[in-house]
Amino acid sequence: MARTRAPERTLLPSDEPLSLLRKDGSPVDDSPLAMPDDDVLVELYRRMVVGRRFDTQATSLTKQGRLAVYPSSHGQEACEVGSVLALRPTDWLFPTYRDSVALVTRGVDPAETLTLLQGGWHLGYDPYEHRVGPQCTPLATNTLHAVGFAHAARLKGEDTAALVLLGDGATSEGDTHEALNFAGVWHAPVVFLVQNNGYAISVPMSKQNAAPSLAHKGIGYGVPSVLVDGNDVAAVYAVVREAVLSGGPTLIEALTYRIEAHTNADDATRYRTSDEVAAWLDRDPVDRLETYLTSRGLLDNARRAAIAAEAEEFAASVRAKMNVDVEPSPDDLFEHVYATMPRHLREQAAALREELA
């Protein structure tokens, strides 16, 4: 019965979400978090503006039939951008379907990012190029990949943390539990960032979980937990940065909201009110930082305009790339099922080629 007890204090989240910037863009006085450096703040702003433009561009592409489907992260840019910029180059990102903005922020080519959603292949980028795991569709399954990856880095003597993104709904899956537990036992350098946007498609938090907060799960695994304002990019950056540098696991719940429907195929009016959306528009992460930067004199009109222009240019390049029809080759169907194509697949590939000849 003589088990060492980790102090509860450090494992439980704060009562109120940590933050650095208030809703109105004014700084929080007594935050336990360190405000990021000025240049980081400007960079966070720039990436959020570009990210949001990319996101609205992607949504437009669904309407033109250039994308099969698109899950927007409009409203969640503080999480998408703040967490990714907090990573070191050697760290890895394990994203979900909703995290296209995180990907482009990490440097993945936008066309490669959208390959999955455009329908050309299941993945468009090389995970090793930018250290980004494949965007994951089956919920919560990427949490285990992140833990295994980070533990392997440890075993190999490498200083690599893994950041895994997941939603509030995904926390209910058994895999999330197993991943947190393995991370706790192995003390693996993994940051679990739960973007709690209030809904799993149509299902609200009240039907998803009865805990005081999702961050309260951490203590059950000996994993330190943080509750953060997910629309405050400075705070998200600060907590993820600290978690990445901690050398062990951290569970972060970021309270945020998706402004768009689940995907372009969803009808959000069936399960939420426009008042609710309006209230969250009022907490916009981009506006908030913009106000702060402006008040601090870090952002003038010229700089703002330059960033807006950069975002437009980026969107235009996305449009251009996505308007080129890249048709995947039927040969691809068989090429990578195994390292070397077995005989039965060679036969099937040949039959298809003959059919198409």
Partner 1 sequence: MSAVSMAGALNRALADSLAADPSVLVFGEDVGPLGGVFRVTDGLAARFGEERVFDTPLAESGIVGTAIGMAMNGLRPVVEMQFDAFAYPAFEQITSHLAKLRNRTRGQVSLPVVIRVPYGGGIGGVEHHCDSSEAYYTHTPGLRVVTPGTPDDAYRLLRDSIASPDPVIFLEPKRRYWAKGELSADSADSADSVAFDRALVRRTGRDVTLIAYGPMVATALETADAAAEEGWDVEVVDLRSLSPFDDETVCASVRRTGRAVVVHEASGFGGYGAEVVARVTERCFHHLHAPVLRVTGFDIPYPPPKLEEHHLPSVDRILDAIARLQWDDEVVGGHGA
- Do 311 and 53 form a contact (C-beta atoms < 8 A)? yes
- Residue 217 contact among partner 1, its own copies, ligand TPP, none, beta carbon within 5 to 8 Å by kind: its own copies
Q: Of the ranges 14-22, 28-36, 55-63, 179-187, which one interacts with partner 1 (CB under 8 A)?
A: 179-187
DSSP state of 270: G
Q: Of the ranges 121-129, 165-173, 202-210, 248-256, which one interacts with Mg ion (CB under 5 A)?
A: 165-173
**Separation in Å, CA 275 to CA 22, 78, 201, 279:** 21, 22, 18, 6
- Residue 210 contact among ligand TPP, its own copies, Mg ion, none, beta carbon within 5 to 8 Å by kind: its own copies
- Residue 274 contact among its own copies, partner 1, ligand TPP, none, beta carbon within 5 to 8 Å by kind: none
d(CA 238, CA 139): 26
**Separation in Å, CA 154 to CA 219, 241, 245, 311:** 23, 19, 14, 38
Q: Among residues 27 and 120, whose Cβ is nearest to partner 1?
A: 120
- Residue 218 contact among its own copies, partner 1, ligand TPP, none, beta carbon within 5 to 8 Å by kind: its own copies
What the block records as the tokens of 28 is 């929080």
Tokens 């992260």 label which residue? Answer: 73
- Do 194 and 177 form a contact (C-beta atoms < 8 A)? no
Binding mask 245-284 for its own copies (x = CB under 8 A): ----------x-----------------------------
DSSP state of 151: H
Of the candidates 109, 175, 266, 310, which one interacts with its own copies according to CB under 8 A?
Answer: 175
123 CB burial (10 A radius; 0-12, 13-18, 19+): middle
Q: Using only the alpha carbons of the chain, give its radius of gyration.
A: 21
β strands within 78-189, DSSP E = 92-94, 162-167
Binding mask 303-332 for partner 1 (x = CB under 8 A): ------------------------xx-x-x
Nearest distance in Å: CB 327, partner 1: 7
Is residue 308 involved in binding ligand TPP (CB under 6 A)? no
Q: How far is CA 337 from the centre of its chain?
A: 28
The residues that touch ligand TPP, with contacts defined as CB under 6 A, are: 98, 137-139, 167-170, 197, 199-201, 262
The residues that touch its own copies, with contacts defined as CB under 8 A, are: 1, 3, 5-6, 8, 11-12, 15, 17, 172-178, 181, 184-185, 187, 205, 207-214, 216-223, 255
The residues that touch Mg ion, with contacts defined as CB under 5 A, are: 167-168, 197, 200
